[in-house]
Homo-oligomer: A and B are copies of this chain.
Amino acid sequence: MFGKGTDVCCGSCPHAWPNFKNLTSAEMKEMSESRFQSSFTAGETIFKAGSPTSSAVFLSSGIAKIYLEGFDGKKIILGLAKPGYLLAGPGNYVDSTHHYSVVALTDVSACFIDMNLIKSYVQKNPLFAEGYLKDISLKSLRIFYKMISLAQKKMPGRMAEGLLELADEVFKSDEFAPILSRQELGEFTGMAKENVVRILKEFCNEGIISTNGSTITIMDKQKLQLISANG
């Protein structure tokens, strides 16, 4: 399914990027009428690092993984995008190129908004520009802390942190389906997939989590927070 997105105005979309609130209704209407919508099935690539940032992408439903491509095809999953998350990245104002790749983890429907339009609002609308700055700043900060975690915490600490992030920020629940494979969980927490298995098993044995079939449930959140904090 794809096409011009003329059905609902972005202004009334419950999943819109918060910063769109700073647009005038004329700007909102213009943007809304010029956007494109497209669907992706789980596993499909929404955009790849290296491709031009011709559009800003927003999910209206589904979840996608955002990852950096390293050496030898190794990946680092920076985080998961949900509706309301601006998918454009810092390359937009540097070399007009994406520097991370985005792949749908579930079936996804996405809105594509012309980047030149976004950039023109940045120039015309100071509040919108400030909102964009806030967005990119917050994402930078998260990268800082991800970097500290990867560089200084040991595997159990990183896994605990990763599970807490999935529970608290992505799924908003202490019980969640394994939207990420063990391989991906490893790319998310910076370890080999074999070690993901071992550490999850360890957490199970200690009663910190339980893995019912393919669902992970956090049983002892305090302990998990302790492990995360102590590295």
Contacts and interface: CB of A to CB of B under 8 A. Distances in A.
A186 to B, nearest CB: 11
Interface stretch (A107-115, A134-142, A172-180): A134-142
A132 to B, nearest CB: 6
Residue among A92, A134, A143, A147 facing the most chain B CB atoms (10 A cut-off): A147
A68 interface: yes
B141 A91 contact: yes
Given A71-B153, A94-B138, A136-B136, A76 B147 contact: yes
Interface in A85-144: 90-94, 99-100, 119, 122-124, 126-127, 129-130, 132-134, 136-141, 143-144
B122 A126 contact: yes
B138 A90 contact: yes
B140 A139 contact: yes
Contacts of A190: 151
A119 to B, nearest CB: 8
A133 B76 contact: no
A178 B21 CA distance: 50
A159 to B, nearest CB: 15
How many chain copies? 2
Given A68-B144, A94-B141, A147-B68, A152 B74 contact: yes
A43 to B, nearest CB: 23
Contacts of A83: none
A151 B76 contact: yes
Contacts of A90: 136-138, 140-141, 144
Interface of A: 68, 70-72, 74, 76, 90-94, 99-100, 119, 122-124, 126-127, 129-130, 132-134, 136-141, 143-144, 146-148, 150-153, 190, 231
8 contacts: A90-B144, A93-B138, A99-B141, A123-B129, A129-B130, A140-B140, A150-B151, A151-B151
